[in-house]
Structure 1
Amino acid sequence: MTTTRPEGGGPADPKVVLVTGASSGIGAAVAERLAAEGHHVVAGARRTDRLRALADRAAASPGSLHPARLDVTDRADVAAFVTAARERHGRVDALVSNAGVMPLSRLDRLHTNEWDRMIDVNVRGLLHGVAAALPVFTAQGAGHFVTIASVGAHEVVPTAAVYCATKYAAWAITEGLRLECDPAIRVTTISPGVVASELADTITDPEAAAAMRGYRAHSIGADAVAGAVAYALAQPSDVDVNEIVVRPTHQR
């Protein structure tokens, strides 16, 4: 089917937006914010119960929110996610690659399984999204990639070497995509600072967890990042917002 303009105060140009890692935190805030602004959102994540609750909250929105189970580490799963959204709505206008994990630890702890997990989700998951959406955007002659990176893409702190490496990679991949793509395909990197979310819950190392509790003494809400995503998507087609860094005023 082809998506039409929603009734009830939606934008003049509602978009079909795919959001990964949408079951909590930034991803959930982005999905809910965009549906509230009248866009048609396909929210992907592994925790389908969370997605259904998100869809229920967005039921009265001017736009729509469709939940879809998604594992970004599975290339075929990501391809099917994009294909299903295109078949459902007739097109895909934007992909917000948000899925990420952050099990911080010092390198000498040798938590190699956690290193692998960060690489699989934060880097390969992003690349799987690019591989699935880029042919669609190219065929349409338009599209928008939005990558949720981190201030960790611009600095390295103790316990975060591997995490920061994955976010540097996410920044580099997205910047390379921007340079290589046809100008009709827009590319944006959003780099949040400390955000109130479940991301730190993946930390198993006691020392890193203790350090993170202090680091997170000042944080911003996930909707602040959702607002940055909404701003980038709302710009006219001749405006490409390359990168936004958004963080607490106390995080200098």
Structure 2
Amino acid sequence: MTIANKTVLITGASSGIGEASAKLLAQQGANVVLGARREGKLKQIADDISAAGGHAAYRQLDVTDPQQNKDFVAFAKEQFGSVDVMFLNAGLMPSSPLSALKTDEWNQMIDVNLKGVLNGIAAALPEFTSQKSGQFITTSSVAGLKAYPNGAVYGATKWAVRDLMEVLRMESAIEGTHIRTATIYPAAIQTELLSTITDPGALEAMNQTYDTYQIAPERVASVVSFAIDQPEDTNVCEFTIGPTTQPW
């Protein structure tokens, strides 16, 4: 497997898709570096991985801070000697109708979901360019593929990530830097995203959807693993994943 011995950095690693991916990739032989704001959760996950025989390190990370992203990449290289994959997974989903004018939440989503991805790319791209290899993986959403009521700003950030990753792939091919990209579009996956929704109507609707359909984050982790495990000359760009029973 090409996963073994790779150093994989994961943002939003303290729960959900990030946690599940870290545990699976470590089991498959990767060195995983966990980043999120909740340091206590990161420590527990890293301890669990180590107890199972895997290799993990962690560092508190606010993806909205460009310098913290740079420090995160430098920390990973200090710990394991290389940086091979950056899984940009941190995100917020405080859904609401535009008429509710929750502008603070709009800005939070732009800062985390879009600028946070850009900050991660800016931190790791020089390393990938220098070594002429590397891979960026992002967690977008089915809301990055189609429009949903209450999801205008959330969806806008996820559509933006889709374009960003495709252009990055194209430019790397043109520049000969061999950087791979993959974008994942999850539907109803069991995560903590719903905890950020403050609008009562949007929360009720989303709870009904997730209570009916949600599947485990380990399902997405297996897709992350698949993307990383492809031969270096092969790029798999996009994955839409969700419950078989959900019409999306």
Amino acid at match of 1:236: P
For 1:89-145, what per-residue CA distance to the aligned partner results, in whole angstroms no more than 9, with x for missing partners? 211000000000000000000000000000000000000011011100011111011
2:110 counterpart of 1:115: no
CA contact (8 A) 1:191 1:246 kept: yes
TM-score normalised by structure 2 residue count: 0.95
Counterparts in 2 of 1:173 and 1:12: CA distance versus 1, 3 Å: closer
For 1:26-79, what per-residue CA distance to the aligned partner results, in whole angstroms no more than 9, with x for missing partners? 111111111111100000000001101101211134431111100000001001
The aligned residue for residue 24 of structure 1 is: 15
Matched residue count: 243
The aligned residue for residue 50 of structure 1 is: 41
Q: 2:149 aligns with which of 130, 139, 158?
A: 158
Provide the C-alpha distance between the structure 2 equivalents of 1:183 and 1:86, rounded to a whole number of angstroms.
19
Provide the C-alpha distance between the structure 1 equivalents of 2:58 and 2:67, rounded to a whole number of angstroms.
18
Q: CA deviation at 1:87?
A: 2.1
Provide the C-alpha distance between the structure 1 equivalents of 2:75 and 2:206, rounded to a whole number of angstroms.
38
Q: CA deviation at 1:183?
A: 5.6
TM-score normalised by structure 1 residue count: 0.93
Provide the C-alpha distance between the structure 2 equivalents of 1:108 and 1:171, rounded to a whole number of angstroms.
26
Amino acid at match of 1:67: Y
CA contact (8 A) 2:2 2:231 kept: no
**Secondary structure of 1:14 counterpart:** coil
2:221 counterpart of 1:226: yes
Provide the C-alpha distance between the structure 2 equivalents of 1:53 and 1:70, rounded to a whole number of angstroms.
16
Unaligned 5+ segments in structure 2 are none
**Secondary structure of 1:250 counterpart:** coil
**Secondary structure of 2:50 counterpart:** coil
For 1:117-176, what per-residue CA distance to the aligned partner results, in whole angstroms no more than 9, with x for missing partners? 000000000000110111000111110110111111101111011100010011111111
2:188 counterpart of 1:197: no
The aligned residue for residue 208 of structure 1 is: 202
**Secondary structure of 1:41 counterpart:** strand
**Secondary structure of 1:146 counterpart:** strand
Amino acid at match of 2:234: V
Counterparts in 2 of 1:231 and 1:62: CA distance versus 1, 3 Å: farther
**Secondary structure of 1:99 counterpart:** coil
2:239 counterpart of 1:244: yes
2:230 counterpart of 1:235: yes
**Secondary structure of 1:58 counterpart:** helix
Counterparts in 2 of 1:201 and 1:35: CA distance versus 1, 3 Å: same
2:179 counterpart of 1:185: yes
Aligned Cα root-mean-square deviation (Å): 1.3
Paired-residue identity, %: 46
CA contact (8 A) 2:189 2:214 kept: yes
CA contact (8 A) 1:35 1:63 kept: yes
CA contact (8 A) 2:2 2:229 kept: no
* Aligned counterparts, 1:10-89, within 5 A: 13-89=4-80
Larger relative helix fraction: 2
Q: CA deviation at 1:12?
A: 7.6
Unaligned 5+ segments in structure 1 are 1-9
For 1:2-47, what per-residue CA distance to the aligned partner results, in whole angstroms no more than 9, with x for missing partners? xxxxxxxx86842000000000111111111111111000000000
CA contact (8 A) 1:100 1:122 kept: yes
**Secondary structure of 1:124 counterpart:** helix
CA contact (8 A) 1:11 1:37 kept: no
Provide the C-alpha distance between the structure 1 equivalents of 2:104 and 2:43, rounded to a whole number of angstroms.
30
